[in-house]
Chain A
Amino acid sequence: MQTITVLPESVANKIAAGEVIERPASVVKELVENSIDSGAKTITVEIEGGGLSLIAVYDDGCGMSRGDALLSIERHATSKIRSANDLGDIVTLGFRGEALPSIAAVSRFEMLTRDEGSLAGTRIKMAGGRLLDVLEEARPSGTTVWVRSLFYNTPVRKKFLRSARTERNHIIRAVVLLALSHGNITFRLVDSGKEVVYSPARESLRDRVVDLLGADFADHCLPVRHARDGVIVEGYAGNTGATRSTRRDQYVFVNSRPVASPEILRGIAGGYRTLLPGGRHAVALVFVETGTAATDVNVHPAKREVRFSKPALVEGVVAEAISRTLRPGTPFGTRESGAPYEAPAAVTEGPPTKEELTAPPVPAVAGEQAEMPVERSMRVVAQMKGLYIVCEAEEGLVIIDQHAAHERVLYERYVRDYRAGAVHVQSFLIPQVVELGPEESSIISRHIGGLAAIGYDIKPFGDRSFAVGAVPAHVSDADVTTLVRDMVAGMEEGPGRHAVSGTVEERLIAASCRSAVKRGDVLEPAHLQKLVDELLGCERPSSCPHGRPTMWARSWDELDNSFKR
């Protein structure tokens, strides 16, 4: 029998360090966050060898006295919170009091710091968590931390690191994320003497984006600004022409903290619904402000995740914000057009209606189109190759794909019809019993009422079993167990939004594709004009429901340039 022993502190520290300090980028993140919290105006990060040989962070923040400096390297020593109550209202990036001791436990660590009140700075030297030396040294107020030979005493972690190049890229991303969310601070990242990131303090977010992500990124984005029920969403949404094969270029922040948030990523995807081709992801920069009380950041040791008290609300507001931004759909000058800013709390959230539950989440507010300052008329010039419609608009030349255009027109009509119609529900002879896992059961129990409204009669049938007595007729022969499971999977955020509307949406898209005019259909000029007019009347005229573009445009200026006029 093994007996139980309390681990020596050095081992415990290494274990804890494993959670916080995953890779060199985590060190950079923790140290830069400390600098931000200390009120620094300028933060410089130096790295060598992908951060494994050296990470140094210099700041001009408030610094620490000798006593505080010595305390800061103790575990759970922090200036940022005082009691558990403060956890509900965290305004600083850090709060756990783990960063410095964790880093010090797995590296050769040095820190030089001075606060305004001290005459001399304090230099602390440590190795593998052991305090080696404490010296006095001159320094302007602020803190410098040097981390050398990271993971030298944890060979396992070191073995699992990627190449120095990969680690360097992670560090760059960590610095970029923090710089994006703190525009009033100057950031510099220097790799082996070469400046990789330089972003002076900026007034506007757009300038920051240009500095950090490039002018190209900024040019392909539309500003996002939307608020509802205390959730404020700001940032940039890439236009539908700028897509990526991964979500890497979706930068998400909650209360100025870079996070990985599935709710917000789903909200972004929802906002782009039917606008992007399958497997493509938009570029986006999304800042969500919820107030500190509505989020819990004390979920993950590295604070990469947050919990929202109302996740469905956050997802919904993000989706709204994005889709409002994209709606104008003018083929010209995406840069100039912006979404109208709506004051917070202008819209209140009532209980979900049947329309909201069954309809694909494409915002259809017909009355709002009036406020859109968008060119709404084009003159058809010709049809080419039985596919392309050439149009003259006020701002330039537009070529429209007739099939894609008609698909979009039909799809939006079908969606309207779908919402107008009633749900036809087919009962079963014998209810089908579906057995679910404990988590699934509790989710579905909460949504039984909402599911009934959209045509699913589901009743509890003993422990974790549910009897499905009826389903909407249009889901005819699907396997009910799989269907219910899929619905539950997408239902965390509210009944029916995902699985149900997804199925319906696919059918509507398929139907619009079948009925649309095809390539090779030669159309009368009057018919072409009608199609173009109807397309321009659509909520989202710029892409077909599969997400392919419907039109291609060149402004007169661009044409003039091409002819060197």
Chain B
Amino acid sequence: MKLKCERESLQSILHRVQGIVSSRTAIPILANVMLEAREGEISLTTTDLDVGIRCTCGAEVEEAGATTIPVRRFSGIVKELNLPEITIKVSEENVLEIRHGRSYFKMLGLSVDDFPKLPDFSGKESFDVEQGVFKDMLRKTSYAVSQDETRYALSGVLLEIKEDMIVVVGTDGRRLALIEKQGEFAREFKKNVIIPGKAVNELLRIMGDEGTMSISFLPNQAGFRIGATLLTTRLIDAHFPNYTQVVPGEAKEKVVLNREEFLSALRRAALLTSERSNSVKMQFSKRGLEITAVSPEIGEAKEEIDLAYEGTEMSIAFNPYYIMECLRNLDDEDIIFEFTDPASPGVIKNEQSFLYVIMPMRVT
């Protein structure tokens, strides 16, 4: 294998693929990136067996071939070489050589035969979606995903495709973020899968705001093609809870709040919560909204927000961080906050089809 390519494009695709490589892996070859040189292009592949990424860029290929080499060191070399073009040579014995000017590197690789193959999506049915739209959907839901590995079904986002609607849901069992997009997918295509949190984070890193991407499926795999990049992921084989059951019906009270104002008031009040007293009390009355945090061992905070409120006076306790995470990931000027009573879930909505359900807290 022998090729010449632009350093900058090689560096940028290396950056894309190396994110999923763990520095501590029991299988040494998983710390490697697979290099494949074909007519006019080079492609790089990494995988942690759950998620795999392949990225391609143009190259002058003199001799086709393939090998695998440790990705961190390779990426370090490419980054530090201060030249517009790089020449790479790999011997039959998987020894990689880079010679340039007065620099010379030799690295020992491993044979591609042992490198896990990415699933093959060729010929599978796929559907297209705007990158910006899908990225926004993932951003507004992925933070709610459970970080607890034992709650397997909740450790990813639900991606539901039905007729001409796409729904993404993330939940950790205490709050749930849901977003729907309608009418933007021409094709009839039904699907209901859970995408692991790690794959979602990689997608958010790779996706841009412009252009379309295509998504295709195998029975237990999903593939996302974004330009010259393919991300594949194992799907979570578990039963996602029935989220429609969680979405409350008509709420009794409804207020409109300025998102920034609400967020910063919560941020300040949260300063006086503690590990033990981690709730804020939201009190709605004729005077407006009062947010208080009380930690007996630390002190207390009170924030007031002007609000024309005519409903029943009540106070409900919530974990402020759950509300803050939601508000931070929205872009709207105002949001709608709905509630019924101190024991029922609160709901945050925006003008689009976003919905956030959050369970209240109780102080005994």
Taking A429-B359, A479-B151 as contacts, is the C-beta distance between A421 and B174 under 8 angstroms?
no
Residues of chain B within 8 A (CB-CB) of A481 are 150
Cα A425 to Cα B364 in complex, Å, equals: 8
The reply on B204 being an interface residue by CB < 8 A is no
Q: What distance in Å separates the Cβ of A415 from its nearest Cβ neighbour in chain B?
A: 11
Cα A553 to Cα B100 in complex, Å, equals: 71
Q: What distance in Å separates the Cβ of B272 from its nearest Cβ neighbour in chain A?
A: 13
Which of B53-61, B65-73, B126-134, B275-283 participates in binding chain A?
B275-283
Q: Mark B124-163, 1 if CB is under 8 A from A, else 0.
A: 0000000000000000000000111011000000000000
Q: What distance in Å separates the Cβ of B319 from its nearest Cβ neighbour in chain A?
A: 7
The reply on B173 being an interface residue by CB < 8 A is yes
Residue of B nearest to A455 (CB): B364
The reply on B296 being an interface residue by CB < 8 A is yes
Query: Are B357 and A424 in contact (CB-based, < 8 A)?
Result: no
Q: What distance in Å separates the Cβ of A490 from its nearest Cβ neighbour in chain B?
A: 20
- Please report which residues of chain B, range 204-237, place their CB below 8 angstroms from some CB of chain A when the two chains form the complex: none
Query: Are B150 and A426 in contact (CB-based, < 8 A)?
Result: no
Q: What distance in Å separates the Cβ of B87 from its nearest Cβ neighbour in chain A?
A: 50
Query: Are B150 and A479 in contact (CB-based, < 8 A)?
Result: yes
The reply on A337 being an interface residue by CB < 8 A is no
Cα A428 to Cα B317 in complex, Å, equals: 14
Residues of chain B within 8 A (CB-CB) of A482 are 150
Q: What distance in Å separates the Cβ of A369 from its nearest Cβ neighbour in chain B?
A: 22
Main secondary structure of the interface of B (DSSP, over half): loop
Query: Are A421 and B276 in contact (CB-based, < 8 A)?
Result: yes
Residues of chain A within 8 A (CB-CB) of B362 are 424-425, 427, 470
Q: Mark B315-353, 1 if CB is under 8 A from A, else 0.
A: 001010000000000000000000000010100000000
Cα A456 to Cα B233 in complex, Å, equals: 37
Residues of chain B within 8 A (CB-CB) of A417 are 296-297
Query: Are A424 and B279 in contact (CB-based, < 8 A)?
Result: yes
The reply on A365 being an interface residue by CB < 8 A is no
Taking A423-B364, A474-B276 as contacts, is the C-beta distance between A428 and B150 under 8 angstroms?
no
- Please report which residues of chain A, range 423-444, place their CB below 8 angstroms from some CB of chain B when the two chains form the complex: 423-430, 432
Taking A455-B364, A473-B319, A474-B275 as contacts, is the C-beta distance between A426 and B297 under 8 angstroms?
no
Query: Are B279 and A473 in contact (CB-based, < 8 A)?
Result: yes
Residues of chain B within 8 A (CB-CB) of A479 are 148, 150-151
Cα A70 to Cα B137 in complex, Å, equals: 91
Query: Are A428 and B275 in contact (CB-based, < 8 A)?
Result: no
Cα A429 to Cα B151 in complex, Å, equals: 14
- Please report which residues of chain B, range 276-326, place their CB below 8 angstroms from some CB of chain A when the two chains form the complex: 276-279, 295-297, 317, 319
Residues of chain B within 8 A (CB-CB) of A453 are 364
Main secondary structure of the interface of A (DSSP, over half): mixed
- Interface residue from B147, B275, B319 paired with A426 (Cβ < 8 Å): B319
Residues of chain A within 8 A (CB-CB) of B297 are 414, 417, 420-421
Residues of chain B within 8 A (CB-CB) of A427 are 174, 343, 359-362
Q: What distance in Å separates the Cβ of B274 from its nearest Cβ neighbour in chain A?
A: 9
Cα A474 to Cα B363 in complex, Å, equals: 12
Taking A421-B277, A474-B276 as contacts, is the C-beta distance between A426 and B364 under 8 angstroms?
no
Cα A477 to Cα B148 in complex, Å, equals: 6
Q: What distance in Å separates the Cβ of B268 from its nearest Cβ neighbour in chain A?
A: 19
Residues of chain A within 8 A (CB-CB) of B3 are none
Q: What band does the interface of chain B fall in when counting residues whose beta carbon is under 8 Å from A?
A: 20 to 34
The reply on B246 being an interface residue by CB < 8 A is yes
Query: Are B147 and A421 in contact (CB-based, < 8 A)?
Result: no
**Chain A residue total in the interface (Cβ 8 A):** 28
Cα A301 to Cα B40 in complex, Å, equals: 85
Q: What distance in Å separates the Cβ of A348 from its nearest Cβ neighbour in chain B?
A: 26
Query: Are B246 and A430 in contact (CB-based, < 8 A)?
Result: yes
Query: Are A429 and B357 in contact (CB-based, < 8 A)?
Result: yes
Query: Are A473 and B357 in contact (CB-based, < 8 A)?
Result: no
Residue of A nearest to B364 (CB): A423
Q: What distance in Å separates the Cβ of A363 from its nearest Cβ neighbour in chain B?
A: 21
The reply on B259 being an interface residue by CB < 8 A is no
Query: Are A424 and B361 in contact (CB-based, < 8 A)?
Result: yes
The reply on A422 being an interface residue by CB < 8 A is yes
The reply on B176 being an interface residue by CB < 8 A is yes
Taking A417-B297, A429-B357 as contacts, is the C-beta distance between A422 and B174 under 8 angstroms?
no
- Interface residue from B150, B245, B361 paired with A425 (Cβ < 8 Å): B361
The reply on A418 being an interface residue by CB < 8 A is yes
The reply on B241 being an interface residue by CB < 8 A is yes
The reply on A507 being an interface residue by CB < 8 A is yes
Query: Are B150 and A424 in contact (CB-based, < 8 A)?
Result: no
Q: Which of A424, A474, A477 has the most CB of B within 10 A?
A: A424
Cα A429 to Cα B171 in complex, Å, equals: 9
Taking A429-B171, A429-B359, A430-B173 as contacts, is the C-beta distance between A424 and B148 under 8 angstroms?
no
Query: Are A507 and B296 in contact (CB-based, < 8 A)?
Result: no
Taking A474-B275, A479-B151 as contacts, is the C-beta distance between A428 and B359 under 8 angstroms?
yes
Q: Which of A423, A455, A473, A507 has the most CB of B within 10 A?
A: A473
Taking A428-B173, A479-B150 as contacts, is the C-beta distance between A422 and B364 under 8 angstroms?
yes
Cα A453 to Cα B147 in complex, Å, equals: 28
Residue of A nearest to B241 (CB): A430
Q: What distance in Å separates the Cβ of A329 from its nearest Cβ neighbour in chain B?
A: 25
Residues of chain A within 8 A (CB-CB) of B343 are 427
Q: What distance in Å separates the Cβ of B323 from its nearest Cβ neighbour in chain A?
A: 13
- Interface residue from A423, A430, A432, A507 paired with B275 (Cβ < 8 Å): A507
Residue of A nearest to B360 (CB): A427
- Interface, chain A (partner B; CB < 8 A): 354, 414, 417-418, 420-430, 432, 453, 455, 470, 473-474, 477-479, 481-482, 507, 511
Question: Closest 3 CB pairs between A and B?
Answer: A479-B150, A417-B297, A477-B148
14 additional contacts, CB 8 Å, given A424-B317, A428-B174? A424-B278, A424-B361, A425-B362, A427-B361, A428-B359, A429-B176, A429-B241, A429-B357, A429-B359, A430-B173, A453-B364, A473-B278, A477-B146, A479-B150
